[in-house]
Homo-oligomer: A and B are copies of this chain.
Amino acid sequence: MLIPGITIKKGVCQLLALNKFSVGQWLKTFDTIIFDADGVLWRGQQAIDGAPDTFNALRAMGKQAFICTNTSETSREKLCAKAQDLDFLIAEDEVMSSSEALARYLQQRKFNRKVYIMGGQGIADELECVGIESLPLDEGKMIGSQMVDYVKNITLDPQVGAVAVGLDKDFDMLKLAKVGCYLMDPKVLFLATNRDHSFPVAPGHFIPGSGAMVAAVESLAKRAPFSCGKPNTFICLHLLRQGVIKPERTLMVGDTLYTDIQLGYNCGFQTLLVGTGNNSLQDVAKLQRSKLPLMYQQIPDLYLPKLSDLLKFLPSRNC
């Protein structure tokens, strides 16, 4: 990335090390900003301090803004409502999610069969939005010692033509067996919302991401899924194709290197890592020491401790 008037050394550039003029020049290099949500704009149910003000100030400057999240448990409609509740100025068609991408993928393939979901309600909701039928979500069920009988008696719906795997709180052996049985038929599509490893919820404690579920199914079915979320460009490909996003004039802001920053690399966006979520500057340093050239794709162009650090560089609304 080039910022007029300043020389950037190889590797990540710390935005806070630049002066107001340079940041101002940099801000002119893009028209669109794609924000990851959790870890950038909010954490759980709370907005990250100063994030709504910064987000809204960037919009007020005329920047086009999108939210792009790998969350699949919640529909785009509910995600938008959440963002609005937390004071982000955003509309539903400015929200992209991995379950919305999955539904769009099937719609584009003119898929007309049913979907078995191992994941959250968000997938079912998004499928419904595009007129695709899914089986009711299986509730978690204890299997105990009766596993063999349970599995023998699994009823498979012959109308199912795709299995969708996302983060599933009720993930268990019975569901895994069911998904495995459906995927024995090579004509049944295998789709994943995303492959995130895990999400921290407290120091040393984290929730497994859908990547763990997908890996289990992959090992069982002996085939890889089409993964619709970040870092697959598919999640924003429709906007690129329609010319809504110009890659060379777009900034991707994220907290996770292997999803957000890799997506930015894959799409040819500028990339900015914020330190309020999954990854830190130390993680970037590890990538820089890596001997695997592919890992360099996850090195961001720029770094900010938190999104609201940008506020002081932005024109005040009264100007």
Give the interface of A toward B (CB within 8 A).
Answer: 44, 140, 142-145, 147-148, 151-152, 154, 156, 168-173, 176-177, 180-181, 184, 195, 197-198, 201-202, 204-209, 211-220, 222
Contacts and interface: CB of A to CB of B under 8 A. Distances in A.
A210 to B, nearest CB: 10
A143 B140 contact: yes
Contact of A219 (B169, B177, B214): B214
Given A140-B142, A173-B169, A148 B219 contact: no
A213 B140 CA distance: 17
Contact of A170 (B143, B213, B216): B143
Contacts of A208: 173, 176-177, 180, 216, 220
A67 to B, nearest CB: 21
Given A169-B143, A169-B173, A148 B207 contact: yes
A173 B171 contact: yes
Contact of A145 (B148, B169, B176, B207): B169
A202 B152 contact: yes
Nearest to A45: B148
Most chain B beta carbons < 10 A, residue from A171, A172, A202, A213: A172
B211 A213 contact: no
B216 A197 contact: no
A262 to B, nearest CB: 15
Given A152-B201, A212-B219, 12 more contacts: A140-B172, A142-B142, A151-B207, A169-B173, A171-B172, A172-B172, A177-B205, A181-B204, A184-B206, A195-B219, A208-B220, A209-B220
Given A140-B142, A147-B169, A173-B168, A184 B212 contact: no
